[in-house]
Amino acid sequence: MKYLRIEPRRPKVGIFDFTSCEGCELQLVNHEESLADFLACVEIVNFREASAARDDTYDIALVEGSISRADEVERLKSIRAKAKTLVAFGSCACFGGVNRLKNACDLVAANREVYGAHPKETLPVRAVKEIVPVDLEIPGCPVNKPEVERIVQHLMMDLPFQLPVYPVCVECKQRFTTCLYERGELCLGAISRAGCDAPCPAGGLGCWGCRGPALDANVEAFRSMVRERGFSQRELDERMSFFGGFEVRS
């Protein structure tokens, strides 16, 4: 079937999870109103969380999670070798996500505290691109399914896709959300990449920057604005380091 004289492709997709909560891959079976259409657009050939079928011939590998053990490094490399397109799927894959907070701890002491006399193997957390080349990053904690659907549409039509470069503030204005600073709340919306449709400020929570920095975000000016409004350095630092997006630059 051709659409506008273009033959759409139905890419074979494999979905793989590493150190994470598996919440991003769960989004693939959410947004139920368009689920049947979504599943018609892609051929899911490998999706351990949802299927016992395992086929290693896929065009696109969606990789969720950060990398925190030697066996994960090997598994990731073998996925990279098979995939034509490797997508870092969600903030853990893109930046390390909240798991990266572990890197600020002494891992030997952390192991002792949690596992006592039986420490477990663990490495400092890394993002996917710190180990293998990544073709496309879809940030978010979790990813935004409507955005994932748009990306799939582009891939099917062989069109280039660009994540929004503007900040979350734009999407807040689009949905008429009252600015969180008016409510006396800290918010990273002014410096964070949009594309999420700003659900957090709408739900009464300032942005935590899960999608990383917007293009050319003026972080220094932002910091001084936040200071003028009376928020502490500790509070701002805790927030900016939360998902790792402001530490691991693309």
**Would you tell me which residues interact with another protein (CB under 8 A)?**
17-27, 29-30, 32-33, 35-36, 39-40, 44, 47-54, 68-69, 72, 97-99, 101-102, 105, 109-111, 113-118, 120, 122, 141-142, 199-200, 202-205, 208, 234-235, 238-239, 242
39 vs 165, beta carbon nearer another protein: 39
19 vs 192, beta carbon nearer another protein: 19
105 vs 165, beta carbon nearer another protein: 105
5 vs 171, beta carbon nearer another protein: 171
What is d(CA 43, CA 248) in angstroms, rounded to the nearest whole number? 32
Residue 205 beta carbon to another protein: minimum distance, rounded to whole angstroms: 4
Q: Could you tell me the sign of the dihedral formed by the alpha carbons of 220, 225, 228, 232, in that order? A: negative
Residue 70 beta carbon to another protein: minimum distance, rounded to whole angstroms: 10
Residue 118 beta carbon to another protein: minimum distance, rounded to whole angstroms: 5
What is d(CA 7, CA 216) in angstroms, rounded to the nearest whole number? 37
205 vs 215, beta carbon nearer another protein: 205
Report DSSP letters for 126-193, one per residue: B-GGGTS--SEEE--SS--HHHHHHHHHHHHTT-------SBHHHHHHHTTPPPGGGGT----TTTBB
86 contacts 38 by C-beta, under 8 angstroms: no
4 vs 60, beta carbon nearer another protein: 60
Residues in the chain: 250
Residue 214 beta carbon to another protein: minimum distance, rounded to whole angstroms: 20
Residue 20 beta carbon to another protein: minimum distance, rounded to whole angstroms: 7
Residue 211 beta carbon to another protein: minimum distance, rounded to whole angstroms: 13
Residue 237's H or E segment, with its range, is helix 233-240
Q: Look up residue 173 and give its amino acid.
A: K
47 contacts 71 by C-beta, under 8 angstroms: no
